[in-house]
C-alpha cells in the first residue's frame, strides 16, 4: 500500500476547506435572501397566520358624459360573514340572523355549528339591514363592503357602456376596455386571531383603505344620445325592424357624440339566463359587423373620381336601366333608366350606371388604393373591443364586373363605423380621423389620459372635398334624401338600400336601409349614419332612414343652440 504523501494530504485538506467555505457561503446567502430580499413576503405570510382579513371592495370609477352627466356609478352594499368558533350562543345567533336576513333557521344553525373557519351569511345586504345585525350585538359576525354597479339611465348606451360581473370587473363595452382604469385597488381589515380563527382578547385591528378607480369621461353627449336613442326606438317600432343603429360623429375630430342600437336591455338587470341572446344584444354591431353598404358607398366612389380628375360638367353619362360588363347585365335601381345626365345629376339620382362607369375608369389599382387610403379595409382604431375590418375581393382576383359592382356599393363589405369614418374624411376637407369614445380619464391625482387631438393624413384635396359636398347637398335638396332636410340648416347626404345575403345567396325581401347625412353642408361639423336592418314594408333608405337623420339634426341643433 502506497503511503499518502504530505502534498496529497494538503491537497485533500484544501479541497475540504473550499467545500466547507462554499457551504457556509451558500447558507449565508440563503439567510440574507430570506431575511432581507424575501422579508416582506414572509412577513405577509406570518400575518396571514395570525390575522383574519375582511376584504373591502374598492369603489369603481364613474363613467360620465362629456359634460359630467353620470352614466355609470356605484352603490355600497355589504357582505356578512360569520366565524362559528367565535359565536358563543349559536342558537340565539341563528335565530336573530335568520329573522333579519330572511334565511332558513335550520340550515343556518347547522352552518353555525359546523367546523368551518368562516361562512358567508349573505351578500348584497343594504346599509339598514347591516346596521340591524351590528346593533343586535351578535358575536362572531363580520362585515365587508361590496360595490354594486348602478346605471342611472337603464338601457341608455347599453352596447357602449357595457356591464360588469359580480366582482364589478368590466365584461363588455367601455367597462371592459377601460377596466384597468376603472377598477381601483381593494382594501381590507385585519384582526388578530388564534389558529382556529377566534379573535384574541384585546385584539388589534388594522384598516387598509382601498383606492377608488379613476373616472372616465366619454366624448358622448347625454342629451344628443337621448335624441338619437329616441329616434332609434321609434324607427324600430315604426318599421318592425330586426335592429336599428345610429352613430353621430364630429367629422373633424372623430369624437363620437352618440351611438345607439335597438334592441337593448337595462344594464341594471342584465338578462344572463340566455347567454347567447345576451351576447347577441350586447354586441356592438356598429363597430364589429360588416355589411354590404349599397349606395352610401357612392360617397367614396365620387370622392375618388373627383380627385382623379374624371368628373367635369360637360361629360355625359347614359343610363338605359342597365349596363353590361364582362357579358353580365347589371341593373340600375331605376328599371327604365335615367337617360343622359352629368356626373352631378348621377349622384343626385343615385344612378348605378354612372358609378359603374366611374369605377371602371378609375381602374382596379387606383380604386383599391383609394379604398385603402380611406381606411375601409382596416380597423378605425376606435377605443372599444371587438372592432371588425372591411372586406374586398383580393386585388389580383378582381374582374371588371366586380369593380363595376363595387362602384355602387356591392361586392364590398364594411363596418358601419368604418363607412362613417371614411365618409367623414370625404366631406371634412379630405382628412382621415380616428373615432374616439373617451375624451379623458382622471383621478384624485389629476389627468391620467387625454384623447389625441388633430386630424390624420389627407386622402383627397380640399377642393375635391368641397365639390363632393355640393353634390351630396343636392341629394337632400332635390334627390332621394329629401326627407332628411332641416329648416334653416344645410344638410348633405346619401341614401343607401342594400340587399342582404344568407348562405351566399340574396335573401329575398331582406334589406338594410341606410342614410349618411352631414351638417352644416357648407362647413360640416357633424356626420350621422342611420341603419334600419330588415324593415317591414317600405325599405328604401330615403324613406326608411333619412327622415330620422333629419329629426336628429332638428332636435340636436335646437339643443346645441
What mean pLDDT comes out for the span 163-178? 92
CA distances (Å), origin 42, targets 33, 49, 195: 11, 11, 17
Lowest mean pLDDT segment, chosen from 15-19, 287-291, 414-418, 543-547: 15-19
Tell me what pLDDT residue 147 has: 80
Closest alpha carbon to 232 in 533, 536, 559: 533
Residue 72 CA to residue 162 CA, distance in Å, equals 10
Q: Is 295 a catalytic residue?
A: yes
First to last CA, the chain: 113
One-letter-per-residue 3-state SS of 455-506: CCCECCCHHHHHHHHHHHHHHHHCCCCHHHCECCECCEEEEEEEEEEECCEE
Find where cell 338578462 sits.
271
Cβ-Cβ contacts under 8 Å for 538 (sequence gap 6 or more) = 239, 544
Query: Taking the model in full, what pTM does it have?
Result: 0.83
**Mind listing the pLDDT tens digit for each residue in 109-166?**
898 888 887 888 988 888 889 889 888 888 888 887 778 899 999 999 999 999 999 8
pLDDT band at residue 39 under the 50/70/90 scheme: low
CA distances (Å), origin 367, targets 402, 417, 433, 468: 12, 21, 20, 17
pLDDT band at residue 196 under the 50/70/90 scheme: very low
Residue 522 CA to residue 192 CA, distance in Å, equals 72
pLDDT band at residue 1 under the 50/70/90 scheme: very low
Q: How many residues does the chain have?
A: 561
Answer yes or no: is pLDDT of 343 > 60.
Answer: yes
Q: Is the peptide bond before 84 cis (omega within 30 degrees of 0)?
A: no
The domains of the chain are located at 52-214, 222-267+275-560
What mean pLDDT comes out for the span 35-42? 60
Beta strand 70-82 with 141-150: parallel, antiparallel or unpaired? antiparallel
Environment class of 45 (CB within 10 Å of its CB; exposed 0-12, middle 13-18, buried 19+):
exposed
Q: What is the crossing angle of helices 364-373 and 352-362, to 10°? A: 100
Tell me, yes or no, if the two domains 52-214 and 222-267+275-560 fold the same way: no
Buried b (16+ CB within 10 A) or exposed e, 269-284: ebeeeeeeebeebbeb
Q: What grid cell was written down for 552?
A: 336628429
- Select which of 245, 262, 295, 465 is catalytic: 295
Average pLDDT value over all residues in the chain: 89
Q: Biggest alpha carbon distance in the chain?
A: 122
Closest alpha carbon to 80 in 129, 116, 117, 113: 129
Q: What is the crossing angle of helices 462-477 and 416-427, to 10°? A: 110
What mean pLDDT comes out for the span 330-353? 94
Beta strand 339-341 with 412-413: parallel, antiparallel or unpaired? unpaired
Tell me what pLDDT residue 25 has: 72
pLDDT band at residue 85 under the 50/70/90 scheme: confident
Residue 363 CA to residue 404 CA, distance in Å, equals 10
Could you give the angle at the alpha carbon of 500 between the alpha carbons of 496 and 503, nearest 5°?
Answer: 160
Give the class (CATH, top level) of 52-214: alpha beta
Give the class (CATH, top level) of 222-267+275-560: alpha beta
Tell me what pLDDT residue 3 has: 52
Amino acid at each position: 500500500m502506497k503511503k499518502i504523501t504530505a502534498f496529497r494530504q494538503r491537497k485533500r485538506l484544501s479541497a475540504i476547506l473550499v467545500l466547507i467555505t462554499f457551504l457556509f457561503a451558500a447558507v449565508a446567502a440563503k439567510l440574507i435572501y430570506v431575511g432581507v430580499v424575501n422579508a416582506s413576503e414572509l412577513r405577509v405570510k406570518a400575518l396571514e397566520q395570525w390575522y383574519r382579513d375582511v376584504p373591502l371592495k374598492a369603489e369603481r370609477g364613474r363613467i360620465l358624459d362629456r359634460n359630467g352627466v353620470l352614466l355609470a356609478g356605484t352603490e355600497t352594499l355589504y357582505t356578512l360573514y360569520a366565524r362559528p368558533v367565535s359565536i358563543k350562543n349559536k342558537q340565539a345567533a341563528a335565530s336573530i340572523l335568520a329573522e333579519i336576513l330572511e334565511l332558513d333557521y335550520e340550515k343556518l344553525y347547522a352552518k353555525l355549528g359546523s367546523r368551518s373557519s368562516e361562512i358567508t351569511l349573505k351578500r348584497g345586504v343594504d346599509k339598514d339591514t347591516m346596521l340591524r345585525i351590528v346593533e343586535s350585538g351578535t358575536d362572531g359576525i363580520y362585515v365587508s363592503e361590496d360595490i354594486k354597479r348602478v346605471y342611472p339611465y337603464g338601457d341608455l348606451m347599453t352596447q357602449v357602456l357595457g356591464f360588469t360581473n359580480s366582482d364589478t370587473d368590466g365584461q363588455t363595452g367601455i367597462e371592459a376596455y377601460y377596466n384597468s382604469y376603472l377598477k381601483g385597488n381593494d382594501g381590507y381589515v385585519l384582526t388578530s386571531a388564534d389558529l382556529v380563527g377566534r379573535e384574541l382578547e384585546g385584539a388589534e385591528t388594522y384598516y387598509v383603505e382601498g383606492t377608488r378607480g379613476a373616472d372616465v369621461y366619454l366624448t358622448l353627449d347625454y342629451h344628443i344620445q337621448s335624441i338619437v336613442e329616441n329616434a332609434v326606438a321609434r324607427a324600430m317600432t315604426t318599421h318592425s325592424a330586426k335592429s336599428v343603429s345610429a352613430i353621430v360623429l364630429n367629422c373633424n375630430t372623430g369624437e363620437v357624440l352618440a351611438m345607439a342600437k335597438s334592441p337593448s336591455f337595462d344594464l341594471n338587470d342584465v338578462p344572463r339566463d340566455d347567454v347567447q341572446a345576451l351576447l347577441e344584444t350586447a354586441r356592438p354591431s356598429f363597430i364589429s359587423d360588416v355589411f354590404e353598404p349599397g349606395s352610401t358607398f357612392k360617397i367614396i366612389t365620387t370622392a375618388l373620381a373627383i380627385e382623379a380628375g374624371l368628373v367635369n360638367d360637360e361629360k355625359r353619362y347614359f343610363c338605359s336601366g342597365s349596363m353590361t360588363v364582362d357579358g353580365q347585365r347589371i341593373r340600375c335601381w331605376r328599371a327604365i333608366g335615367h337617360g343622359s345626365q352629368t356626373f352631378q345629376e348621377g349622384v343626385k339620382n343615385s344612378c348605378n350606371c354612372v358609378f359603374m362607369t366611374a369605377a371602371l375608369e378609375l381602374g382596379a389599382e387606383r380604386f383599391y388604393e383609394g379604398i385603402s387610403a380611406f381606411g375601409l379595409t382596416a380597423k378605425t382604431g376606435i377605443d372599444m373591443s371587438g372592432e371588425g375590418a372591411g372586406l374586398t375581393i383580393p386585388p389580383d382576383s378582381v374582374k371588371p364586373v366586380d369593380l363595376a359592382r363595387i362602384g355602387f356599393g356591392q361586392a364590398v363589405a364594411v363596418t358601419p363605423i368604418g363607412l362613417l369614418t371614411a365618409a367623414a374624411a370625404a366631406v371634412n376637407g379630405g382628412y382621415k380621423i380616428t373615432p374616439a369614445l373617451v375624451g379623458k380619464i382622471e383621478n384624485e391625482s389629476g389627468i391620467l389620459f387625454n384623447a389625441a387631438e388633430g386630424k390624420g393624413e389627407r386622402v383627397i384635396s380640399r377642393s375635391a372635398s368641397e365639390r363632393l359636398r355640393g353634390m351630396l347637398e343636392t341629394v337632400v335638396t332635390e334627390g332621394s334624401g329629401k326627407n332628411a332636410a332641416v329648416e334653416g340648416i344645410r344638410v348633405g347626404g346619401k341614401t343607401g338600400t342594400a340587399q342582404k345575403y344568407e348562405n351566399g345567396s340574396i335573401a329575398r325581401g331582406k334589406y338594410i336601409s341606410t342614410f349618411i347625412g352631414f351638417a352644416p353642408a357648407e362647413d360640416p361639423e357633424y356626420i350621422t349614419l342611420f341603419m334600419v336592418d330588415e324593415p317591414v314594408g317600405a325599405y328604401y333608405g330615403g324613406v326608411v332612414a333619412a327622415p330620422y337623420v333629419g329629426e336628429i339634426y332638428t332636435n340636436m341643433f335646437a339643443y346645441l343652440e
